[in-house]
Structure 1
């Protein structure tokens, strides 16, 4: 199976699931998405700092 076909199948299924959800999905405000993004990047930053701190196993490799 070609990777593009696999991606097309995922998109098709996502569209089906969104249609099935209809109005049953909870209403979310846009700021929650921004908060989730900021939190995610903060966790990435903390992880990178921990991984590159001198004396850690990850920094020794």
Structure 2
């Protein structure tokens, strides 16, 4: 493809993407639901941390 044609196509595509991005930015977005995800994540992590903090069971030594 000729470089000038390629450059024109690039500029046209970039302008199209900028228009789409501007239109997307104007859309109302729902509030993030991170609060529930955070609580659920920590609820799952806490038991694992408790298990990891317990010392391993020691085996009986034979003298």
Question: What TM bracket, shorter-length normalisation?
Answer: 0.3 to 0.5
- State TM-score, norm by structure 1: 0.41
Higher RCO (C-alpha under 8 Å, 6+ residues apart): 1
Higher Rg of the two aligned structures: 2
